[in-house]
Each structure stands twice: as C-alpha cells, then as structure tokens.
Amino acid sequence: MGYDLHITRAQHHADSPEFPITLKEWQAYLETDPEMRPDGYAEVRVDAQVLRYENPGLAVWTGWSRHGQGSDCAWFNYDRGEIVVKNPDEEMLEKMKRIARQLGARVMGDEGEEYS
C-alpha cells in the first residue's frame, strides 16, 4: 500500500473520469518535457519473478535526483483521467505541481487535500 497524489481537473480526484485529462493531452505534454520519458511499461524483479505493468500513459521522470540509483524511478501513471504518483517525495511533488499548471489541473492527495 502507499499514499497517492493525483494530478486532476476534478474537485475531488475520485471524479477525474468526469473531468478528465485525456491520454492524448498527457502524451502531448510528455512530448514537450525532455525530462519525462513515456515508457509505457514498468518491470520489477521479485525473487525469481519479473512483474510487468503495461499502460500507454506510464512515464518516468528522468530528471528526478534519485533516478537510476538502484531501482529508484519516479513513475507518473495515467489512469482514468488523472496522473497518479505513489509515495512522492518533495521533489516529485514540485514536479507534479509544474505539470498540473501546464495541464490546467491541481495536485490532490488521497484524502482530498490540495497541494499548491
């Protein structure tokens, strides 16, 4: 489990599908940001298994100061009209705020609190 922050246009992130950032808008944003890499998948090795998650809206922030240290990546996951980051640190939160401004959106926590 973890705590998610959401980039959303809705008054509450649960309503993001009703006021969506479209996948097309997200992908267009990714094309303009040289620090964001639209991977479309993530893999992690757990014991002898490789777990793979695929999503055309999954991107990694390569400008994050801890990017590539061990298995650390800052994943930005497009899902149902919003962009979600799990357990972001302060640096990721600032990146989320910049992205939200570009998309005409806001950053909101799981409990509905806003970060401006």
The model's pLDDT over 10-64, given as tens digits with 9 standing for 90+, comes to 999 999 999 999 999 999 999 999 999 999 999 888 889 999 999 999 999 999 9
Residues 4-12 have a mean pLDDT of 97
pLDDT > 80? residue 106: yes
**Among 49, 46, 44, which residue's Cα sits nearest to residue 60?**
44
Residue 77, CB half-sphere, CA atoms under 13 Å: how many?
A: 16
Q: Where does 1-116 have alpha helices with state H?
A: 23-32, 90-103
Cα separations in angstroms, 110 against 20, 37, 38, 42: 17, 25, 24, 23
Assign 116 a pLDDT band (cuts: 50, 70, 90).
confident
pLDDT at res. 65: 84
pLDDT digits (tens, 9 = 90+) for 57-94: 999 999 998 887 766 789 999 999 999 999 999 999 99
